[in-house]
Amino acid sequence: MPEDCLFCRIVAGEVPADVVHESGTAVAFRDANPQAPVHVLVVPRRHEPDLATLTRADADAASGVLRAIADVAEAEGVAGGYRIVLNTGASAGQSVFHVHAHVLGGRDLAWPPG
């Protein structure tokens, strides 16, 4: 685990977070700066910077993230309409380089996202 990775430290319980879901491969917690009534981050326990590296390194962990997204959407009451965002790379707005899916819902979401 990279010692300077914020999301590794949340997964390890070293940094407090509002955890809403856990599985053997993934952890989900509320975003500290929510952009919608439901804004949950789903991260794999395994540290990888983005979805491509995670999928190639550990397909079970990648599918665990997808399963956790579905479980979170259902538990948060937004399964009928929500958005998944995986900002990938600094130019796309990624600021934490431990892959994470934003699960956004609870309001109408405009498209295109900008």
Site pattern 2..41 for ligand AMP (x: CB under 6 A): ----x--------x-x-----------x-xxx-------x
Binding flag, residue 90, ligand AMP (CB under 6 A): no
Residue number, 17 or 65, with CB nearest to ligand AMP: 17
Q: Annotated catalytic, 98?
A: no
Q: Which single residue is written with the structure tokens 């952009």?
A: 35
Residues at the interface with ligand AMP (CB under 6 A): 6, 15, 17, 29, 31-33, 41, 87, 93-96
